[in-house]
């Protein structure tokens, strides 16, 4: 027994010595990587994949990072578990791309108690203009970087008003996953458009969860039931792709029989704007990696990054769009 204990102690001492000897910290050139835990919504769309790639490229080993990526498959519970794991591992920073706006307080308290800054990207938490504050009025997250989804939706509605004037519109609304800022903002805009334009009718509204497959199913089912409509307001490009497939399968021509309005402006969707299949595509920029990198660098220097950073975004229609413009975009 005693012999075993001595052996174990010797082994432990040896391991410790070799760990020290071989440790990178012995190398004066070496600085430990900054460890970032990134809880990503999922891989539901081209936007999301471009966003993940952007984060991986910016927070790369070459840039001095160790990025721990967790794909939550669009489940908030999985994100909360991921955040707890990051806290447990003692990461230096947490980046959260939240599925929905609500339900983050407890885990944010836990991150703060552990002294880990939390950077929120893409969708908001707490809703438009509301900051989650603790009982002392202190914010529960460090900063947020993303899009103004209500403004995006308003741009789409303005385009519809300008383009169709008094023409009666029969609209099918494909929504993103309920409770996400992208869904809430874009839906609020269409609701305002419906209220302001009595000649617009909402024919059907359903959530396609931002996915091509669900959207294709929704539009296919409506067409099979003989429902007629002339506009699809798709809250992202992938749902527009699904809608286009379903329209084509039913012998309809997107852009002629049915106009499609979409969000994100991925390269694949912009190609469809060029061919006339998508009529209006509102930009939603996913390239947050360099923005997060900048914020982390500011925090490392002891500076205070802005609480909210909104990304500038445009609108694409066939007017003025060229292949060169599409090719030069980063996603
Ligand atoms: O529009 C959609 C994605 O939150 C901005 O989520 C994001 C949205 C984006 O899946 O394609």
pLDDT band at 135 (very low <50, low <70, confident <90, very high): confident
Query: What is the DSSP code (8-state) at residue 252?
Result: -
Provide the pLDDT for residue 140.
Answer: 87
293 is written with which tokens?
């990198």
Distance of CA 217 to the CA centre of its chain: 23
Read off the pLDDT of residues 269-300 as tens digits, 9 standing for 90 and up.
Answer: 999 999 999 999 999 999 999 999 999 999 99
DSSP string, 167-234: S-EEEEEEE-STT-HHHHHHHHHHHHHHHH-TTEEEEEEEE-TT-HHHHHHHHHHHHHTT---SEEEE
Rounded to the nearest angstrom, the distance between the alpha carbon of 128 and the centre of ligand 1 is: 17
Query: Would you say the CB of residue 200 lies under 6 angstroms from ligand 1?
Result: no
202 is written with which tokens?
């909402």
Choice among 133-142, 285-294, 305-314 with the minimum mean pLDDT: 133-142
Residue 268 has pLDDT above 70, yes or no: yes
Rounded to the nearest angstrom, the distance between the alpha carbon of 182 and the centre of ligand 1 is: 6
Portion of the chain with pLDDT greater than 90, in percent: 85
Provide the pLDDT for residue 127.
Answer: 60
pLDDT band at 254 (very low <50, low <70, confident <90, very high): very high
Residue 328 has pLDDT above 90, yes or no: yes
Rounded to the nearest angstrom, the distance between the alpha carbon of 221 and the centre of ligand 1 is: 24
Provide the pLDDT for residue 8.
Answer: 43
Provide the pLDDT for residue 286.
Answer: 98
Mean pLDDT, rounded, of the chain: 92
Residue 132 has pLDDT above 80, yes or no: no
> Where in the chain are the domains?
33-146+288-300, 149-284+317-327
Average pLDDT of the segment spanning 4-18: 45
Torsion of CA 69, 71, 74, 75, to 10 degrees: -90
- Same topology, domains 33-146+288-300 and 149-284+317-327? Answer is yes
Candidate CATH numbers 3.40.50.620, 3.40.50.720, 3.40.605.10, 3.40.50.2300; the one for domain 33-146+288-300: 3.40.50.2300
pLDDT band at 225 (very low <50, low <70, confident <90, very high): very high
Residue 9 has pLDDT above 60, yes or no: no
Provide the pLDDT for residue 25.
Answer: 54
pLDDT band at 22 (very low <50, low <70, confident <90, very high): very low
Residue pair 197/257 in contact (Cβ under 8 Å)? The answer is: no
pLDDT band at 16 (very low <50, low <70, confident <90, very high): very low
Query: Would you say the CB of residue 284 lies under 6 angstroms from ligand 1?
Result: yes
Read off the pLDDT of residues 26-46 as tens digits, 9 standing for 90 and up.
Answer: 677 778 999 999 999 999 999
pLDDT band at 65 (very low <50, low <70, confident <90, very high): very high
Residue 11 has pLDDT above 80, yes or no: no
Choice among 11-15, 93-97, 228-232, 292-296 with the minimum mean pLDDT: 11-15
Q: Ligand 1 pocket test: which of 234, 262, 284 has the largest number of ligand atoms within 8 Å of its C-beta?
A: 284
Rounded to the nearest angstrom, the distance between the alpha carbon of 134 and the centre of ligand 1 is: 29
- Protein residue with least CA distance to atom 8, ligand 1: 182
Provide the pLDDT for residue 192.
Answer: 98
Query: Would you say the CB of residue 149 lies under 6 angstroms from ligand 1?
Result: no
Rounded to the nearest angstrom, the distance between the alpha carbon of 20 and the centre of ligand 1 is: 46
Question: If one looks up domain 149-284+317-327 in CATH, what number appears?
Answer: 3.40.50.2300
Read off the pLDDT of residues 69-111 as tens digits, 9 standing for 90 and up.
Answer: 999 999 999 999 999 999 999 999 999 999 999 999 899 999 9
Query: Would you say the CB of residue 47 lies under 6 angstroms from ligand 1?
Result: yes
Average pLDDT of the segment spanning 224-241: 98
Q: Ligand 1 pocket test: which of 236, 278, 281 has the largest number of ligand atoms within 8 Å of its C-beta?
A: 236
**280-283 and 259-264 beta bridge pairing:** parallel
State the alpha helices, DSSP H only, in the chain: 2-22, 46-58, 76-89, 105-113, 149-164, 181-196, 212-224, 237-249, 267-274, 289-300, 323-328
Rounded to the nearest angstrom, the distance between the alpha carbon of 18 and the centre of ligand 1 is: 48
Portion of the chain with pLDDT greater than 70, in percent: 90
Q: Which residue has the higher pLDDT, 16 or 44?
A: 44
Query: Would you say the CB of residue 123 lies under 6 angstroms from ligand 1?
Result: yes
């Amino acid at each position: 027994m005693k012999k075993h204990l001595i052996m174990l102690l010797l082994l432990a001492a040896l391991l410790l010595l070799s760990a020290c000897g071989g440790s990178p910290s012995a190398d004066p050139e070496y600085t430990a990587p900054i460890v970032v835990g990134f809880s990503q919504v999922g891989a539901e769309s081209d936007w999301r994949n471009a966003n993940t790639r952007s984060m991986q490229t910016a927070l790369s080993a070459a840039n001095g990072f160790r990025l721990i990526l967790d794909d939550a498959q669009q489940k908030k519970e999985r994100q909360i578990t991921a955040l707890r794991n990051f806290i447990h591992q003692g990461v230096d920073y947490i980046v959260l791309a939240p599925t929905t706006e609500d339900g983050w307080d407890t885990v944010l308290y836990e991150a703060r108690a552990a002294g880990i800054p939390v950077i929120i990207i893409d969708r908001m938490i707490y809703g438009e203009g509301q900051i989650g504050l603790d009982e002392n009025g202190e914010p529960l997250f460090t900063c947020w970087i993303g899009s103004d989804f209500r403004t995006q939706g308003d741009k789409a509605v303005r385009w519809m008003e300008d383009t169709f004037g008094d023409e009666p519109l029969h609209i099918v609304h494909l929504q993103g996953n309920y409770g996400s800022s992208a869904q809430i903002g874009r839906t609020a805009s269409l609701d305002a458009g419906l209220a302001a334009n009595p000649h617009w009718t909402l024919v059907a509204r359903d959530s396609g969860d931002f996915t091509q497959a669900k959207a294709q199913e929704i539009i296919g089912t409506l067409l099979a039931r003989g429902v007629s409509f002339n506009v699809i307001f798709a809250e992202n490009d992938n749902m527009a792709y699904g809608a286009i497939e379903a329209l084509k399968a039913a012998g309809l021509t997107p852009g002629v029989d049915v106009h499609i309005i979409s969000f994100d402006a991925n390269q694949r969707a912009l190609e469809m704007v060029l061919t006339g299949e998508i009529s209006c595509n509102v930009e939603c920029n996913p390239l947050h990696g360099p923005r997060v990198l900048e914020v982390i660098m500011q925090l490392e220097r002891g500076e205070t990054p802005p609480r909210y950073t909104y990304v500038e975004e445009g609108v694409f229609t066939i007017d003025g769009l060229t292949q060169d413009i599409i090719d030069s975009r980063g996603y």
